[in-house]
Amino acid sequence: MSRSLTTTDLWKFVGLIFVFVDHYGLFFDEDQEWWRVIGRLAAPIFFFLIGFARTRTVPWIWLGLGTLLTLLDYLTSDSLAEVRLNILFDFALIRLALPYIENNVAGHLWRVLVLAAVCTATTPLTSLILEYGSDGWLWAVFGLVHRLWLSQKTHTAWVIRNCTAASAATLYAAWEIIDFEFGLWPAVVTVLLVTALTLFLTDFRRTELNWTPPDGVAAGFAFCGQRSLEIYAVSLIVMQLLSFAIESN
């Protein structure tokens, strides 16, 4: 292989599994909400990794694929009210905003709490425009402040990281339960899964894997690590078109 496998590759691979589970439920088994419950773990992983990464450029392919997926969603939806800008636009906006957040917000607890309050208050509105609205932004900020804590290891950075993690998990779990109208047990499981994911992410370190997977698995991890968003986009297009074809027949 041309490069070593990292924990980021592994997390992206896991995130894509949750993406496939979620989209299978969305397009092929709408009556079974447990697919969507499990699929709630996909987006936070990618938002977190966007925030954790140091890269701040927005690849043109994000905008191109985001436009294509939004257009496809429009063409296959019953009404314009159901259409949201694809999550890739959310990622792009976050990338553009993160330098400001890192320089002016991330190091101050009260500013992070204000940002969390703003995200919470605006989620009902932004969710009408963006696929994950403002609740996805807090996961990205969580990723950012987690990286800063790893580099500083101060008590203040630890408090900021944990408060951001709690805010992101609380807002996301609550909004997803409301948005999907989950019943009692799906809601309970959603809270438990999001809580567990949050705890796992607080232990995230970007390091080389300390074990060597079989060649085929290693190649899969590497490909997912390098092309995760393209894989997401292609799989979404294929599933959406296949679902539309099945419904048309």
- Domains of the chain by residue range: 7-248
Mean pLDDT value across the chain: 93
Residue-level pLDDT at 76: 84
Average of pLDDT values for 51-80? 91
**What local confidence, expressed as pLDDT, does residue 4 receive?**
81
pLDDT tens for each residue of 143-170: 999 999 999 999 999 999 999 999 999 9
Q: Is the dihedral of CA 200, 9, 135, 160 positive or negative?
A: positive
Q: How far is CA 30 from the centre of its chain?
A: 21
pTM greater than 0.85:
yes
Q: Model confidence over 85-137: pLDDT tens digits?
A: 999 999 999 999 999 999 999 999 999 999 999 999 999 999 999 999 898 99
Summarised one tens digit per residue, pLDDT across range 181-216 is 999 999 999 999 999 999 999 999 999 988 777 878
- Cite the beta strand spans of 57-189 per DSSP E: none
pLDDT at 3: 65
- Sign of the C-alpha dihedral computed for residues 55, 60, 61 and 66 taken in this order: positive
CB 102 within 8 A of CB 145: no
Which pair of tokens denotes residue 128?
């009408």
| Residue with more model confidence, 34 or 2 | 34
> Distance between the two ends of the chain, CA-based, in angstroms?
45
Q: Which residue has the tokens 């292989």?
A: 1
Of 124, 136, 122, the C-alpha closest to 169 is 136
Quick one: which H or E segment has residue 195? helix 184-201
pLDDT, position 1 = 46
pLDDT at 2: 52
